Structures are given as C-alpha cells and as structure tokens.
Structure 1
Amino acid sequence: MGLLAAPNLSCSKGEFSLRMFQGVALVVETMHKDREVAGCAPSKFYNFIKKVNLKDKHIKVLEDTLFKGFMHFPKFLVQRTFLNTILTRWDDEHNCFLLGGKRIFFKPQDIAVILGLSINGEHIDLRRELSASEKELKKKYFANVLLKRELIEENIKNLLEESSEESISDFAKLFILYLFNTILFPITSETTPIFLLHYVNELKNLHSYAWATAIWTFLVRSISESLRKKKKYVNGCVMVLEPWLHEHIILLSWLSTKMVYPRILRWVDSSYRQTGMHKKFLDNLIYTQIIEDITPTNEESHLLPLTDASSSNREIRQWLEPILLKIDEKIVTSNTNKEIRQWLEPILVRMEEKIVTSVKEYFSIHGIPDCDTFQLIMDNECPQQKNSYDCGLFVIKFMDCLSQGEILF
C-alpha cells in the first residue's frame, strides 16, 4: 500500500488543499477483480440487470421514465488508479481541477452532457424528509432498516414475479432506486440516501427535476468532504470523471472520433482507458493541450439553459470544427509553410466573416445600435507574435492601442 504523492504546487489557499490528499487513503491497494472502487458501481448495475432478465411489461414501464436509457447501459468499470490520479488535482476552493497549469472547472453542465440528464427543472433537496406516502413505500419494502443495495436487489427479483399494476409500478420505483444506489448517488456503505424515496415515489414527475445539478452537487460535496476529513473513499457518481477528462484534453478527445448520446458512451471501450495512461498525460500536460469547455451538440442542447451568447458561441465552434480538422490534415501533408499559408488564407477570411456575422446578430438582439454598419477590416500590417502562445497578449495590446486612438483605419 502506498500513499499518493502530492503535486509540487505553490501554497495559495486554493492549491494548498491539493496537498492534503497525500494523507487521504485513496490509495493503490490490492483489490479483488470484481470489486468496484468507491461506492459507484456501474458494472454491478450492469451485471444485475443482465442477470434478472427484464420482461416486456417491466421494460415498457421503464420506457416511460426519464432514466430509460440506463436499461441498456454498457459495462463500465471505475478505475481506482484513475481516481487516485485525478483527485490529487482537485482545487476545493474553486470546484475545479488543475490541469496543465490552468483551472478547468467541473460544472453541472458537464454532468448533463456526459450522462444525458438535464440541469433544467425543479431543485432537488438532498436533505428532504419523507412524507407519509413515502414512509409507507419504505415500510413496505425495507421495514425499519436502511435502503441497502442487496435488499433492493431482492425486492426487484420478487416484483419481477408479480404482474399486478401496483407491483409493476413499484418495480420501476425500485429499479430507479437501484440506479441511484449503484451509479448516480452511490455511497460506499451501499445504502441509498433516504431523500431519494421522495423522487421515485411519483414516477410521472421524474422529468421535472434538475437531475444533473443534484448529481454534481452530491459528488462535489463528497470530494470536498473526503479531502477535508481525510476519508478513505469518495461517494457520488465518480464514473463521470474519466469521460470528463477525456473530453477536456485534446489528444485524449481524439481517441474516439464518434459522437454518441449520451457522451459517456464514447468512452466505454476499454481500449481508450489504459492503466497508467492518464498519469503520464497529466504529468506532462501543458495548457495549450486543454479544452476548457465541453461544447454541446445540437442533440445535447436541450439539456442546458440556452442563452443568446452561448447559442452564438456554440454555432461558431460547430462551424469551425470541420475546418480545423482539414487544417490539421493540410499541415501534415504540406511540405512548406508558404503552401500552408496560401491554402489557409481564404479559409481564415471565411472564419472571420462568420464570427463577425455572429457578433452582429448578438449585438442586434441586445439592442446595440448601428451594428449593421460594422465592417470587417483585415490589417496585414498588424504585429504578429513569433511563437504559438503569445497571441492573447498581442490582441490585448492591439485593442489597447485602438482604444487610445494610436491605431487608425
């Protein structure tokens, strides 16, 4: 058994918290092959659902719920070595990970895109007390004991043998409770948080809640608590962290070219998830290799609250993506810089025109006058940086000079 090595970071308030993970027993230790790390156990969920062999009547009632996609969720193992690696980089003050010298924020929107669950809807109270009808449901299947995983499994098996309308409805409630227990709100003691009984008790209302936000809150609170109290475990849906990292590192994001819904299904292939691979990437990562935000596709956009600004930004990035791929291909196949520049010039003009058009639309929506008179001016004499990383400083200085009247067109 070996303790985690803390990264060599300066001792600012936010970054100092990372060093505390050195004493946390999120350690590399010998484990049985079938044992899941932490409380999150997606492979256990997969094995159980496959074993019980759901009947058509039970599949039908689940198809009418928000969580129907999890009936066909593939086997996904949460890797302890990966969690050890990523959690040493957690900045508890800012709810972010320190990657390549940058703060990359972990947000509810990321959970929404990865799991296909919305952040729109009513708030979920993680400390809610049960009503009388919810206490009846607990008494019916759990008596006065905790909502343990094995007891949920036993009740599901029994309900699969019954055919009454009530038993089929109760099966759906316990199926979703089992999903919460093993994947979305797991606890290492294999018990289910009691507040969740309120939300499964009314199946027809499941879609009206902000599930992605609740899953994010539950997970972040657990990471923070494990850090502060030096606990030996992390509760919550830790399985999203590996897909999250893949989506944020350029070289890792290219490992899977397919785009599927929900996004986590891009990363179930074990060939993308080699032991030790993530540590090598993170130890040598620089900020230019980082994707700061996960850009949602059109299919994923309904999961997020749309604003005019985010919609315009998404439109630009979706338009740019295929062009940037072509640029990469051209750079690989070209022999000279001159050839590359000649090929790029008309494309860059189109890119700038598209960006200006989107900015004009944004200004018009927000009532900024005379935006239609704005012109695209390309200044070939503008000073250029001589490296690949100082462009931001040059742009800021250019705008400063423009605002002072030192540059005239």
Structure 2
Amino acid sequence: MRRSTRRSSIGIGLGAEERFNSKPTGSFSTRFSLSSFVKRVEKLTDDQRTAIKKVGFGNLLLIPNQMLSKSLLVELMDRWNSEECGFMLLPGIVKITLMDVALILGIRVIGVPILLREDDAFSELETDYGAALWKRKITIASLESRLDLLGQVVNEDFVRTFILFTFGTILFPNANGKVDSRYLSFLKSLDDISRFAWGAAVLEDIFMWLNKRKESNVQYVGGCLILLQVWCYEHIDLARPELMECQSMFPRACRWESSKSHQRQWFAAKFREMQDCQITWHLQPTSEELQFDVINELLEVESSSIDNSSDDGSTIGVTGLEVESLEHNSCKVQGGKVINLKRSTVPQSIPEVQTMGFPSTSDASVAHEDCMEIPSECQNLQQLTSSQFFTVKGCWSSSTRIRCD
C-alpha cells in the first residue's frame, strides 16, 4: 500500500473552495427512498420487528421519514475532493468516519467484510428470488410483492426479503431500482448476518458515488443519502433543523426534524462564509450512546490498537479509522478486529476537538425551494474509512468490499 500524500486537513485557508470546487455540478436524481422504507416498516408486526433486530438492523426501523434537502446535498457534494477523500470546506477537510456511520445509522461498522465477486457461484437462493446467472439482479418491485404475500409471517424468507428491500431503498440503492442478488450469499444463515460490517460497506458505497459524481458529473447519485444529510447536520452548523422531541436519540438519524428548504444560492453563500467554529470535527458518543454494542465494539477496536502500539508510540487509536489514498481518487475502508493506525503528519495548530452533544438549532427561516425525497445506485465500489489525523495500515487484505457490475 503506497504512502498517502494527502495534505493537512487543517488550515487550508481562503481560496480553498475556488481551488477545489471550481466546476460546480448540476442537480441530481436518485432512487434513495426513505419514505418507501418507512411505509414498509409501519406495516411490520412486533414479531417481525424483533426478527429484524436480531440480525442487526433493528436501529434502522427507528428512523422517521425525512425529506432530502436537495440543494444542501448538491452544495455539499460539490465540495467533495476525491484525492483527499473528504469535504473541502474553508476551515479544513472534514471526513465521514466509521464512528459517524455507527452513530447516525446504528449498524455495525466492525466485523466480517462484504466482498462481492463476479465469479461468485450462482445459488438456488438467487433463482428463488428471480435472478439469473446472466442477470444477477432482484427488482425492488418484486421484493415489495414478496413482502405483501408474506404478510405477518415471521420466517427466514421474510428476514431475507426485508433486508434486501432495505438494501435497495436506503442502504445501497442504485440507478436501475434493483438489488444485486449476490448479497444473498451473506444472508443464507440468519445467525451470521449480524457478523458482517454492513456500516463499512455503506460508507464505501457513498464514497464511490461521491467520486463518480465529482469526476464524471453524473446526474444520478446512489448510496445512503440520509447518512450524508444527517452527517452534515451533525458536523456543520448550517441550516440545521429542529431536534425531534423523542425519548431515544439513537441512532442520530432519528433526532432531526426535516430540513426547511432554501435555494441553492443560499447554501452556496453559507458554505463560502463558513467559519471554523461552525464545524464539529469529530463526533463523540454520549453516555446514552455508549450503551450500544455497535458503538462499544468500535471503541474497543480503537482501544486495542493503543494496547498493541509499538514501543516508539507510532501506532495510536482514535475515534474513527483514517482514509488513505490508494490511487488518484480511490480510498479504502479497513475494518475488523485487527487494526493498526499509524500517525500522519499533523500541524501544531490543530483546533480543539468539539464534542457533539445536542446541537442548538440554527435559524428556522423558511425558504421555498426543494426538499425532496426520491429514489440511488451502486456499481464498482471504491474503498475508504475515517478519522482526521491517522492512516489505516496493516489490516488484513480481505477487508475490502468490491462490487462488480
């Protein structure tokens, strides 16, 4: 793995936007559909909810319907820098970390990696879902029909079908409204489903789409866009909506009201005027969030990396895993039980890390433009991970997720 050549993520200075965002992209379409997912969740019985919770996706059932702020997402995506694998803002580069995914979605980011291969054997289970050897795809419509026929039944078929539906609507939505049937190889045994690092796979997928849009100016954007939007609320004090009045604030995608819309020009101006004090560089778990396994296991991995550090102190753990550039614009997510985090060069003027508790809401001025929720896509996966000052090294070679279409 070649050494990262990324610049410091702090103190980029004025003119950064002009250097890295000189060619704004246009609007986009997507098949991401939180509303479809929430409507399906509302039909679930208590027993069905329990079954989904047992395989590790129970926290997703808590997420309320929210409209996507298309203007906000367009401006945020325009600030994505493929080489740095981060958002290039005036105060510095801000990255999406594995901790962010765990806090926002409440799914595992540590575990067995997801690997889809072109030469994966075609299974009878894929045939049962209507896929073919020459077209290993399952339509969202067929999954919805299957769930309708199952009704209130709670069995393995229901669990697999609901998870595939979840993949196609909110976690890995793609341009054609279909789900890769090779995911079924990870759903054969219900006891094993929760062992996989689904959150790391979601993170890789959203990075692939951000790179694709930035480099090719594609009009379609796939991936888990609610992760991207809530990440923006959590890290950037810019047009934050009201906090929900609810008992549980986990996962964090549950705690935000729908955003009030503004025109794209309004967001563009706010991004250009952004100050360091508006950014929360790293999210820190609250005492309530520390009660959840998906958070604790990530912290334990980071803690173990400190315990196994070398005598010269060159290895250190942080709240998140760092992205290293592998090629010009590709990033690799490393996750699992054995992780070495090597210190990168960091300037002395690092701002104090802010703790994200319950942020105050920003101005609630109402504008008129487009909050939207529409349906996303995934194909060849790029690979990534997270924290601001460290680089992942030495993880086992199979810890990447590859999607080949």
Correspondence for 1:223? 210
Correspondence for 1:306? 302
Structure 2 residue 53 is the aligned partner of structure 1 residue 46? no
Distance 2:26 2:117 in 1: 28
Q: What do residues 362-381 of structure 1 show as CA deviations (whole Å, max 9, x unaligned)?
A: xxxxxxxxxxxxxxxxxxxx
Correspondence for 2:397? none
Greater shift, 289-298 or 178-187, is seen at 289-298
Structure 2 residue 15 is the aligned partner of structure 1 residue 26? no
Correspondence for 1:261? 250
Which one of the candidate residues 98, 103, 117 is aligned to 1:108? 98
* Amino acid of the structure 1 residue aligned with 2:101: I
Which one of the candidate residues 191, 197, 218 is aligned to 2:178? 191
Distance 1:260 1:38 in 2: 27
* Amino acid of the structure 1 residue aligned with 2:253: I
Deviation at 1:194, TM superposition (A): 3.2
Q: What do residues 225-248 of structure 1 show as CA deviations (whole Å, max 9, x unaligned)?
A: 222222111111121112111111
Distance 1:83 1:126 in 2: 29
Structure 2 residue 68 is the aligned partner of structure 1 residue 78? yes
Distance 2:46 2:208 in 1: 38
Residues 361-400 of structure 1 correspond to what in structure 2 (within 5 A)? Answer: none
Correspondence for 1:151? 142
Structure 2 residue 297 is the aligned partner of structure 1 residue 297? no
Structure having the larger proportion of residues in strand? 2
Deviation at 1:215, TM superposition (A): 0.5
Residue pair 2:241, 2:260 contacting (<8 A) in 1 also? no
Which one of the candidate residues 98, 109, 121 is aligned to 1:119? 109
Assess, with a 3 A threshold, how the Cα gap between structure 1 residues 10 and 292 changes in structure 2: closer, same or farther: closer
Could you state the TM-score of these two structures normalised by the residue count of structure 1? 0.62
Distance 1:99 1:318 in 2: 16
Q: What do residues 200-259 of structure 1 show as CA deviations (whole Å, max 9, x unaligned)?
A: 222211221112211110110121122222211111112111211111124666953977
Deviation at 1:121, TM superposition (A): 0.8
State percent identity of aligned pairs: 22
For the residue of structure 1 that corresponds to 2:87, the secondary structure is strand
For the residue of structure 2 that corresponds to 1:98, the secondary structure is strand
Structure having the larger proportion of residues in helix? 1
Correspondence for 1:170? 157
Residues 332-371 of structure 1 correspond to what in structure 2 (within 5 A)? Answer: none
RMSD: 3.4
Could you state the TM-score of these two structures normalised by the residue count of structure 2? 0.63
Greater Rg, structure 1 or structure 2? Answer: 1
Correspondence for 2:274? 285
Q: What do residues 36-75 of structure 1 show as CA deviations (whole Å, max 9, x unaligned)?
A: x41211112112333xx23454334223220123334311
Distance 2:231 2:189 in 1: 31
Residue pair 1:185, 1:235 contacting (<8 A) in 2 also? yes
Deviation at 1:128, TM superposition (A): 6.2
Distance 1:106 1:170 in 2: 34
| Structure 2 unpaired stretches of 5+ | 1-13, 307-315, 321-351, 361-405
For the residue of structure 1 that corresponds to 2:88, the secondary structure is strand
Distance 1:191 1:67 in 2: 20
Correspondence for 2:81? 91
Structure 2 residue 49 is the aligned partner of structure 1 residue 59? yes
Assess, with a 3 A threshold, how the Cα gap between structure 1 residues 151 and 26 changes in structure 2: closer, same or farther: same
* Amino acid of the structure 1 residue aligned with 2:54: D
Residue pair 2:17, 2:90 contacting (<8 A) in 1 also? no
Q: Which has the higher contact order (CA 8 A, sep 6+)?
A: 2
| Structure 1 unpaired stretches of 5+ | 1-7, 28-36, 326-409
